Amino acid sequence: MKKTISLSRIYIVMALAIIASAGPGHATDPLDWPTYGPELGHLRVDDGIDRGDGLTNGIPDIVGPVDGSAKLTIFTEGNHYPVLLPLVFDAFPEYCAETERCSITADEITVVTLPQVMIMAGLQSGGFRFGNAQLPVKQDTPVFPDLFMLGERPMGRLNEQQLLASKPRVFAKHRGMGLLINRDLYQKVPDLQAFASSDLPFVFATPRETGARHQYLGTLNALLGEDAARAVFAREVADFPGRVAIQHRDVPYAVMNGIAPVGMIFGHLADFYASYWPDRLAFVEIPEAAQFGSEIAVAKAERPNADPSAADAFLEFLFDAAPGAYRAGGFMSSEDFDFGRELNW
């Protein structure tokens, strides 16, 4: 007999199934992705129903309850997730318990970690689709952010749409692009010039991921010259079965599965994945790319009738914890950019 499950008792990690749709063309293997949140980010059901592992063990695009019970909901661009999610699900609840400034557990937090363009499209269209699943996102629906964490341009658009309840403040800045490569190639590709001189194919952000792709294009044009950069981009693997246009999923997936031996991605992510899979991946740092790094800002969302206490407490916690956590995660030191500055238009 089937058991009826209350939605309020289900905590969902929605992962776009890049493996399930892989199809022919490459012998792809499921990846044991890093996981975060309650129960390590897996589907959790409290009344004995078997939880989902295997193909559902993906990088979380959404972690947490989607029934409106969350006390704190954050919509963020996903490329800083290795630093952010431990802060959100581990350190922040501990901070609340120790300071008594707030009362929240990891089970009461929802985080959406999608590319900025997807977040903006979801807000404009009123929700997200994950295969056949639909998640409505409007100010009067159960899931709507208390906080946005995005770059300056998307924040400007949200400000124009009157979706911000506070001025965005900068809390992190990354060091630009790096290379994530097959471990066996480390001696052959020790730096950017060696990669540019090789004939190795590579993957990087799709045209749908406009911010990251344009940043990489601009970085290579500046560091290599337009002719050399054009020759490099001619080696791009533009598409492959199962691609989902989320670079922090696509790039390590492609390199790990032999679709391309090199991936171009933000340096902190390349370093993170190389540390997570040290037997198969290596990180090639590009120090000169730091001048093209981008900032991430945070702002409260305009959410009528919502309790702002958890968001206010998290902002206090974030600006205390971010300098150390983000520097340890490969981002710039808070002394090297205007930490805490307000964005103004």
Rounded average pLDDT per 10-residue block, the chain, 345 residues: 35 40 46 73 40 43 89 96 96 97 95 93 90 86 96 96 96 98 96 97 95 95 97 95 88 94 98 97 98 97 92 98 98 98 92
Contact status, residue 109 vs residue 89, Cβ threshold 8 Å: yes
> pLDDT tens digits for 221-240?
999 999 999 999 999 999 99
What is the number of other CB atoms lying within 10 angstroms of the CB of residue 70? Answer: 21
Amino acid 133: pLDDT: 79
Amino acid 242: pLDDT: 78
Contact status, residue 299 vs residue 312, Cβ threshold 8 Å: no
Residues 6+ apart with CB under 8 A from 164: 148, 155, 158, 299, 300, 301, 302
Three-class SS state of 76? strand
Rounded distance, CA 215 to CA 102, Å?
39
Architecture per CATH, domain 177-292, reads as: 3-Layer(aba) Sandwich (3.40)
91-to-125, 226, 307, 320 alpha-carbon distances in Å? 33, 45, 21, 12
Identical fold, 7-173+294-336 and 177-292: yes
Amino acid 40: pLDDT: 43
Contact status, residue 43 vs residue 11, Cβ threshold 8 Å: yes
Q: Which amino acid is at 183?
A: R
Amino acid 39: pLDDT: 61
Domains of the chain, by residue range, sit at: 7-173+294-336, 177-292
Task: Sort 263 into a burial class: Cβ within 10 Å, 0-12 / 13-18 / 19+.
Answer: buried
Amino acid 11: pLDDT: 42
CA 6-9-11 angle, 5° bins: 125
Amino acid 28: pLDDT: 55
Contact status, residue 252 vs residue 273, Cβ threshold 8 Å: yes
Q: What is the side-by-side strand order in the sheet with 169-173? A: 44-45, 10-14, 62-64, 109-113, 72-76, 147-150, 295-300, 169-173
Matching residue, tokens 């557990």: 105
Amino acid 283: pLDDT: 98
Residues 6+ apart with CB under 8 A from 108: 64, 65, 69, 70, 71, 72
Q: Which of 47, 30, 32, 87 is nearest to 63 (CA)?
A: 87
Three-class SS state of 101? coil
Q: What topology is assigned to 7-173+294-336 in CATH? A: D-Maltodextrin-Binding Protein; domain 2 (3.40.190)
